[in-house]
Amino acid sequence: MPEKLSLFKLFCPKFRTEIMKKYKHIIWDWNGTLLNDRWLCVEAINQALAIRELKPISEEKYKDVFCFPVERYYEKVGFNFEKEPFQVAGDEFVQFYGDNFHRVNLHVETIPILNKIQNTHRSQSILSAGKQDFLTDWIKEHDLSNYFIKVLGIDNQYATGKTEVGLAWIKELKYDLNEIIMVGDTSHDSDVADAMGIDCVLVGNGHVSRKRLEKTGRKVVSNLNEFYKLID
């Protein structure tokens, strides 16, 4: 009987929706999840590839190969770090991205969803693999600080990952682990949530293809509106 009940809970949509409503704190990934910057990442990597006379990649190819740490992703698209240090190409990417960041916008549903969640008296934070000062400045300049009790990035510009930052943050939060959920757009977000001991939902309109996200076994939604329906 317990096993049958467990299967019922797993596959019954109504029951799963009720489970989703328990969350009191949402940890958001930034790039690709709230911020619509995939296209700029493709432009940035393609300019670095062009400098080396390497073949450019499409957005579809990008979604199929992007991963953390990003050094591995660079190798997948053709960079040879036996010939030059990763930091050279990494710096070129960061320079191009930073110079063009003014062209980037949030996903169209980001602000409405942040408002809806705030109105339900749930708290929210950001956990990003982006550089802390860059992230903080963008949040302040676009007047988003009031949505988040904490904005967390990493201390280098090479997107090595955010697991350690996440583990430290989870210790500070005054919620039970089963009351916290992470929302991201990569398998790295799933891995970070695993390390933190919390649930995770992945959004399929960011940096990684839906097909790859589904291989994590996580719930995958098409956009933030679909995520909100799970917790509303």
Radius of gyration from C-alpha coordinates of the chain: 18
Supply the pTM of this predicted model. 0.88
What ranges do the domains of the chain cover? Answer: 2-36+105-231, 38-103
Burial 185-214 (b: 16+ CB within 10 A, else e): bbbbbbbbbeebebbbbbbbbbbbbbebbe
* The two three-digit tokens of residue 54, written as one number: 């390497």
pLDDT one digit per residue (tens) for the chain, 232 residues? 344 344 444 444 443 445 566 899 999 999 999 999 999 999 999 999 999 999 999 999 999 999 988 999 999 999 999 999 999 999 999 999 989 988 999 999 999 999 999 999 999 999 998 889 889 988 998 899 999 999 999 886 555 579 999 999 999 999 999 999 999 999 999 999 999 999 999 999 999 999 999 999 999 999 999 999 999 8
Cα 183 to Cα 230: distance, rounded to the nearest angstrom: 12
Instruction: Name the fold adopted by 2-36+105-231.
Output: Rossmann fold (3.40.50)
Tokens 């992945």 sit on residue: 202
